[in-house]
Every structure is written in structure tokens, then in C-alpha cells.
């Protein structure tokens, strides 16, 4: 397990993207794990590391069509953004910021893929409301978030609506720690930003800088 601690200078170190963008320290040995095999606290998640490969997954898009994540990533270097759901104001602000830089990222050769606990129907509503042109995928049961090591047990005040917003699939009432992973076409993680404070998101300008630096160093391929 790792506790994630973020420093402003560690978020984007343009001279060393082969390294993790976060600083980690071991969690206490008595960290409590739920029956679903995830930590109780976002600070105790154990995410995949830079240099590791993303897991395989089949996820429905906003139309309910299953998408092979590895096949999608194989087409272009990708920026995977895990967010909580369209019900989260911090997520909506992040999604809007991503839309503003999507064309710039596309010109660099990247594609944006945002993944949340929302059902396909709720994904579609979010996409239409915010006029999003990038791909939205549903990880409603958080199976992929668990494989990425970013899932944790939600606080009790989320228990009533998480099953509903996920189309009944989030039975364990889990949430992902909001995260950003830049992966190459082989599915290898080249950069990551993970912050247990759901109110803090990677600034769009910093994301562009990270993506550009990876491209300059050839690490996006």
C-alpha cells in the first residue's frame, strides 16, 4: 500500500517524466481493507506505477457499446482520466477543462479517454450537457479502477446514490481516486497524477506541458 502525498513541484517535472509524478510513502501496517479488497481511505490506495502496463478491460461507452480499452489505446497515445461521476462538481470542472485542451492534445497525437463510475446513460447526459467531444467510458462496477489500484470505499453519505448513478452496478459503493495516466500505444504508463484529495485536479495547462514533454522525449510512443 502507498499513501500518496503531492507537492506542487512534483506534479510536473519536465526534465524527468520517466519518474513518478507523485511522492509515496508506505502506509501503516494496520491499514484496513474492505471485503471488496480495497482500502477504506483514499490516502491508502496502491496505484500502478509509471513503467507498468495498464490492465485489459472491456468498458461500455455512452451508447452502451463495449469498447476494448487496449485496442483503443493501441491506436494512439492516450490520456486516461479517472473521475468520480457527472454528479461531482469538481469532476465537471475538470471535464470542462479537458474539453478546452482536447484539440491541442489531438494535434500532439494524443486521444482523451475519461472513465467514471457513471452508467452509460449518465455518461451520455454528462457528455451532452458539457458538449464533450472525447471518449467517455463506464467503469460502473469499478473493476478497472480496482485493477489500477485507485479504488477505495466511499464514505457513508455516498451510499444512497452511488448504486443509482452506476445503474445498479456499484454494489460495493466504491469510488476511484481522481487520477490521470498518460500511456503509450503499448499501454505502458509514462506519466501519472494521483491525488487523494478529490477537490484537487491536475491543471489543464500542466497536463498539456506533461504531454508535450513526453512527446519531445519520445516517451509517448
Catalytic (active-site) positions: 91
d(CA 27, CA 89): 29
Judged by phi (left if over 0) then psi (alpha if -120 to 50, else beta), residue 130 lies in alpha
17 grid coordinates = 517524466
CA–CA distances in Å: residue 121 to residues 81, 86, 88, 89, 112: 19, 11, 16, 18, 20
Cα 182 to Cα 28, 73, 87, 190, 220: the distances in Å are 29, 10, 25, 6, 8
DSSP 53: B
What CA–CA distance (Å, rounded) separates 33 from 38?
5
Q: 187: which 3 cell numbers?
A: 499501454
Amino acid at each position: 500500500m502507498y499513501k500518496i502525498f503531492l507537492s506542487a513541484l512534483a506534479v510536473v517535472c519536465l526534465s524527468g517524466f520517466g519518474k513518478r509524478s507523485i511522492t509515496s510513502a508506505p502506509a501503516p501496517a494496520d491499514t484496513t481493507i474492505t471485503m471488496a479488497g480495497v482500502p477504506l481511505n483514499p490516502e491508502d490506495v496502491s496505484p500502478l506505477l509509471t513503467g507498468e502496463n495498464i490492465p485489459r478491460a472491456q468498458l461500455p461507452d455512452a451508447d452502451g457499446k463495449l469498447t476494448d480499452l487496449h485496442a483503443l489505446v493501441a491506436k494512439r497515445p492516450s490520456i486516461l482520466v479517472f473521475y468520480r461521476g457527472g454528479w461531482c462538481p469538481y469532476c465537471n470542472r475538470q471535464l470542462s477543462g479537458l474539453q478546452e485542451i482536447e484539440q491541442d492534445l489531438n494535434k500532439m497525437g494524443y486521444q482523451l479517454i475519461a472513465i467514471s463510475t457513471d452508467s452509460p446513460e449518465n455518461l451520455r447526459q454528462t457528455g451532452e450537457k458539457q458538449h464533450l467531444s472525447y471518449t467517455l467510458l463506464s467503469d460502473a462496477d469499478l473493476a478497472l479502477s480496482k485493477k489500477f489500484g485507485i479504488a477505495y470505499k466511499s464514505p457513508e453519505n455516498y451510499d444512497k446514490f452511488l448504486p443509482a448513478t452506476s445503474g445498479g452496478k456499484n454494489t460495493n459503493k466504491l469510488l476511484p481516486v481522481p487520477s490521470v495516466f498518460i500511456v503509450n500505444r503499448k499501454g505502458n504508463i509514462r506519466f501519472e497524477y494521483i491525488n487523494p484529495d478529490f477537490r484537487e485536479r491536475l491543471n489543464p495547462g500542466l497536463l498539456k506541458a506533461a504531454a508535450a514533454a513526453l512527446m519531445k522525449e519520445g516517451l509517448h510512443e
